[in-house]
Amino acid sequence: MSNHERREISFSSLEEVLSDIETLAQSPHKTTGGHSFGNIVQHLARTNEMLVGNITPPKLPWYMRMAMPFLKNGILNNPVQPGFNLPNNAMQEFFWSSTDVDLNDAIDNFRNSVKAYHEKGPLPVHPVFGKATKEQIDKMTLSHAAMHLSFVHPR
């Protein structure tokens, strides 16, 4: 398997995402991207926590704040693509742990973030893409999860 090989997956609910994570975690698995499975799951948990307002990300640079609302339609109509580089170290440190994250801890965090997402619902203004409906944020969240989890493979 090359470092660029990915599973073809999509999700219709956060419960499907959680089920995929738990299934992969229960058996031997490997990642083909630059992050460990634990780091990927933790990243998805942090993203959910951001979407419900439980944590606040660093402010995007002005040029990204201007561009992202216009890029939202492309993301809504196409799968999220890998290779997006965060604009600064503060954002990198916010979204990605610099050390390996224990997979079981990350799964617990993701499970809790799903609960918060269902209880609170996403904020009406996405912290990155601006004003969006719940359906749009759900779609972006599921596509984002599918992109990252596509790098995790059962052995």
Is residue 3, in this structure, part of any structural domain at all? no
DSSP helix/strand/coil, 152: strand
Is residue 58, in this structure, part of any structural domain at all? yes
DSSP helix/strand/coil, 6: coil
Instruction: Report residue 2 CA to chain centroid gap.
Output: 22
**Phi, psi (5° rounding) for residue 85?**
-95, 130
pLDDT of residue 3: 47
Is residue 63, in this structure, part of any structural domain at all? yes
Could you tell me the two tokens for 13? 């609910």
pLDDT of residue 138: 94
User: Domain limits at 132?
Assistant: 14-154
Is residue 131, in this structure, part of any structural domain at all? yes
pLDDT of residue 146: 96
Q: What is the rounded CA–CA span in Å between residue 151 and residue 6?
A: 5
Is residue 4, in this structure, part of any structural domain at all? no
pLDDT of residue 86: 67
Could you tell me the two tokens for 67? 């561009």
DSSP state of 71: H
Model pTM?
Answer: 0.90
Q: What is the rounded CA–CA span in Å between residue 22 and residue 124?
A: 29
pLDDT of residue 29: 95
Q: Please answer whether residues 77 and 144 qualify as being in contact, where contact means their C-beta atoms are separated by less than 8 angstroms.
A: no
Is residue 88, in this structure, part of any structural domain at all? yes
Is residue 132, in this structure, part of any structural domain at all? yes
Instruction: Give the type of residue at 129.
Output: F
**Phi, psi (5° rounding) for residue 40?**
-65, -50
Q: What is the rounded CA–CA span in Å between residue 124 and residue 43?
A: 21
pLDDT of residue 61: 83
Is residue 109, in this structure, part of any structural domain at all? yes
- Structural domain total, the chain: 1
Q: Show the low-confidence residues of the chain (pLDDT under 70).
A: 1-4, 83-88
